[in-house]
Amino acid sequence: MELYKTKIDTQTLNDSILKIVNTLQKYKISYTDTFPINIQPFSFTISGDELKNWKKDNELDENITAEQTFYKFRDKYKITNSDIEEIRKIISIRYEIVRQGYSSTKPLVIAEDIPREAVAEFTDRGDDFPGITVTVKPVRKYINGKLASHILGYASKIGNSEYNENKDKYSQNDIIGKTGIEALFEDYLRGTNGIKQIDMAVDGTITAEETAKEAVAGDNIVLTIDSKLQKIVEDQLKENIEKIKSGGFGKAYDAKGGSCVVMNVKTGEVLAMASYPDYNPQSFADGISNSEWYSYLNNSDHPLMNKAIQSAYEPGSIFKMVTAIAGLESGNITLTERINDVGQYKKYNKTWNCWYYTDYHRGHGYQNVVGAIKNSCNYFFFETADRMGIDILAKYAKYFGLGTKTGIELPNEVAGTLASKEYVKSINQSWNPGDTLNAAIGQGYNRFTSLQMAKYTSMIANGGKNIDVSIVKSIEKADGTQLNMDEVKKDINNKLGITDTSESEKLDINQSYIDAVKQGMKSVTSDGTAAVRFQNFNISVGGKTGSAEAGKDANNKDIVNAWFTAFAPYEDPEIAVVVMVENGGHGNYTAEAVRNIMAEYFGMNTQNVTEDMSAISYTESIR
């Protein structure tokens, strides 16, 4: 409902406003009211610097009370009513008129979501409400609640700076995309405003309305996301994090949040992407309250951040497949060579332990590449990397998309960092031989996103073929025609600042090497580090656990991020699934979420997928 400026005197305006507000309240309709004073008792609704600045902006003495301020505004607006509640109602709209402004052509929005009964009354009693018109406007409704909130993003009222920069396209009350798909595809989603001509008498009575220009609906953005799978992924990620926090796998870890990506290994299409914790985008579209906004903003777990693309983490042992492929391709190891893991790798006057080195056992013994992946043998990968050097390792990691933005059609994707001489030079450091060893097991300078790890796993699954990651399938105009996606991609890349999508060197990976790595990953789920999670699982899966050291928390305790990446079916891969939990303790734990997601994807009844929950000794070491 909108209020236009009319040629009526102040008393008539105040009387009209009171009638408007009383009618809205009769139908329990909320109306625009940002005047920061409560009555009965008098008090300010804002405090601190905000109140100080508000008084200054309104040329009020800094020591003025709420009651004194209230009556000062009453006198300012020449309100003659004696009832304090009536005065407050009139002030609310008069204050908004001054704050936002209005004219005979630019209205002030007073209320939204008006029921039919109220519309009928405002129409029938038009003479009592000069300048009032009820219009039909499109609204943003997120019908699935929080589902895919980090993908869709949110739309909210245009800010002052945004409006000033785009006055030719927007009005001050418009809703625009701020994050996610909503922001990046704002120009496509928006459509074109229509024009309605309103004839109004001098007293503000609407005498006629006519559509001078029809509005054009915005485009429909069709995503690659499967909504049912998205719901499953979000639920499983949340349940997995909560189970880790409660000690459901054994030792409890203070898991902070996490992310999950499901990708089509052949096309690079993202079938699901979740980040936890999430948020409610409808709150922003409806006008988020200060309390809810600050609850998001001040949350140390960062619910507004899409952790699948905006946060990069040490990958730990899920990086070891790259080290294996690089070593094989460069000829520094062979498929048949067996390296003896004696528990401690001693070189350069330092010692690096294999995770398996404890008081009870010294190492894995002789390992070939398949066994090294199965057992996540640090020693094997230390030796492999030391032979070939960091330049070769970085070359193959880059080919698999690590340390490089994927180019997905979402804003604020980060590239992460790839351990390399080039990177340490950029931060004014020098490369040491020990850095190569740390890089080989996914530690050191390596930081990647869950989306990058999903692409990397997909490329292993599909035989080493590069893929273009995408989350937008098509764009349909209101008339049913489709836009040329090549042109759309150019436009979106320009908005994202992506100028070269073919940075990495093209490599022709030997299929026997890929097969060996995949065989090692299959062993992980059949009798390796994640076998306990896939017992009696009736589909073959290739996977890898990762438990990555990520510094210390405020209590000087180790932070260990938990990863599990996998593809299935092993014989003819369709999907890759990556789950990462911040301070999740062990990659073994996150494997359960991956298993459950795969069970749902392939149409299994998860109740029939069982695992042996009997006591099994487990060494809590970094792998």
Q: Is this model's pTM higher than 0.85 or not?
A: no
- pLDDT per residue over 164-187, tens digit each? 888 888 887 788 999 999 999 999
- pLDDT per residue over 549-590, tens digit each? 888 887 888 889 999 999 999 999 999 999 999 999 999 999
Q: Is residue 369 part of a domain?
A: yes
Confidence of residue 500 (pLDDT cuts 50, 70, 90): low
Token output for 328: 């094989």
% the chain with pLDDT above 70: 92
Q: Is residue 432 part of a domain?
A: yes
Confidence of residue 233 (pLDDT cuts 50, 70, 90): very high
Q: Is residue 215 part of a domain?
A: no
Residues whose CB is less than 8 angstroms from the CB of residue 160 and which lie 6 or more positions away in sequence, other chains included: none
Which of 93, 109, 136 terminates a domain? The answer is: 136
108, 6 Cβ separation under 8 angstroms = no
What is the CATH classification number for the domain harbouring 584? 3.40.710.10
Q: Is residue 23 part of a domain?
A: yes
Whether the per-residue pLDDT at 360 is higher than 80: the answer is: no
Whether the per-residue pLDDT at 163 is higher than 90: the answer is: no
Whether the per-residue pLDDT at 612 is higher than 50: the answer is: no
Q: Are residues 482 and 618 part of one domain? A: yes
325, 396 Cβ separation under 8 angstroms = yes
Sheet strands (E) in 121-205? 132-133, 155-157, 175-177, 195-200
Confidence of residue 287 (pLDDT cuts 50, 70, 90): confident
Whether the per-residue pLDDT at 201 is higher than 80: the answer is: no
Q: Could you list the residue range(s) of the whole structural domain that residue 111 is in?
A: 1-136
382, 352 Cβ separation under 8 angstroms = yes
Which of 114, 136, 158 terminates a domain? The answer is: 136
Q: Are residues 420 and 320 part of one domain? A: yes
562, 544 Cβ separation under 8 angstroms = no
Q: Are residues 428 and 318 part of one domain? A: yes
Q: Are residues 466 and 349 part of one domain? A: yes
Q: Is residue 280 part of a domain?
A: yes
Whether the per-residue pLDDT at 21 is higher than 60: the answer is: yes
Q: Is residue 203 part of a domain?
A: no
Greater confidence, 363 or 312?
312
Average pLDDT over residues 57-86: 96
The count of other CB atoms within 10 Å of the CB of residue 56 is 11
Q: Total domain count for the chain?
A: 2
Find the range with the poorest average confidence among 130-144, 195-209, 482-496.
Answer: 195-209
Q: Are residues 238 and 131 part of one domain? A: no
Average pLDDT over residues 523-550: 93
Q: Are residues 241 and 105 part of one domain? A: no
For position 607, what pLDDT does the model report?
43
Confidence of residue 211 (pLDDT cuts 50, 70, 90): low
Mean pLDDT of the chain, nearest integer: 90
Q: Are residues 437 and 330 part of one domain? A: yes
Q: Are residues 132 and 229 part of one domain? A: no
Confidence of residue 194 (pLDDT cuts 50, 70, 90): low
Q: Are residues 263 and 116 part of one domain? A: no
Greater confidence, 15 or 134?
15
Q: Is residue 613 part of a domain?
A: yes
Taking Cα atoms as reference points, which of 360, 255, 317, 240 lies closest to residue 619?
Answer: 360
Average pLDDT over residues 522-535: 93
Q: Is residue 228 part of a domain?
A: yes
Q: Are residues 412 and 523 part of one domain? A: yes
Which of 79, 101, 136 terminates a domain? The answer is: 136
- Cα–Cα distance between 262 and 594 in angstroms, integer? 9
Q: Are residues 344 and 493 part of one domain? A: yes
Q: Are residues 496 and 371 part of one domain? A: yes
For position 619, what pLDDT does the model report?
32
- Cα–Cα distance between 163 and 156 in angstroms, integer? 13
Whether the per-residue pLDDT at 412 is higher than 60: the answer is: yes
Residue 260 phi, psi dihedral angles, 5° rounding: -150, 140
User: Which of 86-95, 115-124, 545-554 holds the top average pLDDT?
Assistant: 86-95
Cis geometry, peptide bond prior to residue 130 (ω within 30 degrees of 0): no
